[in-house]
Structure 1
Amino acid sequence: MVTVAPSECEASPTWAYALQLPHDPRAARIARVTLRAVLAGHDMSQLLDAAELLATELVTNAYRYSNGPATLRLRGVGRSRLRVSVWDANPYIPPPFDKRSGPVGIVPAEADRGRGLFLVCHYAEAWGGYPLGGDLSGAGGKLLWCEVGAPAGGWITR
């Protein structure tokens, strides 16, 4: 189910969409299709390449390291910035999203995992994570998020 909450203020338009994703290897593809439609609908297609990569990596991380469903949330911040958030039921917040570890290091070429969050940290303008739930047990899972914005020189036309 997709939901939207349009802004009341035209000067700084904000909106949010949430998409429930089952624990399914096709979830990242469905997230990308939804992201393309949302960004096109809000005339923000210039963010598509980076946003698609970031959303794919966060949704894939939720699928690989959680046993249940996930939720993708897309939120427009002003006219030129997008926040991508992914909730899953696993309470473990991986480095460096846990803010206790150092930066993500380069993954060895022979490794078959470990590049996704490195890409998020490299391409996102901001990123973070926090536990969800009312207690310290992490029963509510976690939320990982990142933001991408328009290039510093303004919009790039294709």
Structure 2
Amino acid sequence: MREYNFKASDSTGEMLMGLGFPFSFMGVAGLILTLRLILFPKIKYSSYVDNIYLEKFLIIVPALIITACLMKVIKKYSIKNYHIYEDKEMLKIENDKKVIELAYTAIKDIKFNKKGNKISKCYKLIIKTNSKDLKFFVRPKENHFGGATENDFNNLENFYLFLKEKISK
């Protein structure tokens, strides 16, 4: 019985991380600006200071700091620990919340892409089945959207080679 463990995100997690930063930044910046206008309505734009960049600084810097904290929370929920093993003639894929049982005969095709190097390194495995596609995205910890180690990259590649061998039979 072969087992593969790695940290990866799925297509939903990728969408959350990709859209999370711009939406959270604009939302937090808008909230800070709205609070400033509600709490201090008599202070006109740059009337109390000669430096026009101060008000922009007082909105953008806190928004960036709060957004960075929100992105850590989003990253925590979008990157999952996957445990994949074979059980008789079935492939079981477990992540933190659910278990998917997949027969080898249900797999139509598999694709594996390697992109980038060092911080921009990304491995993508797509398993096409009869009903839906399973996607795994593995990125290094140094990347803001990743959380994998070098061992995770090797495990995903070994899993691809194992699946390729099983499907070709």
Considering Cα pairs closer than 8 Å and 6+ residues apart, tell me whether 1 or 2 has the greater RCO.
Answer: 2
TM-score above 0.5, yes or no: no
Q: Please tell me whether Structure 1 or Structure 2 has the larger radius of gyration of its CA atoms.
A: 2
What is the TM-score when the length of structure 1 is the normalising length? 0.27
Q: Which structure is higher in helix share?
A: 2
TM-score relative to the length of structure 2: 0.25
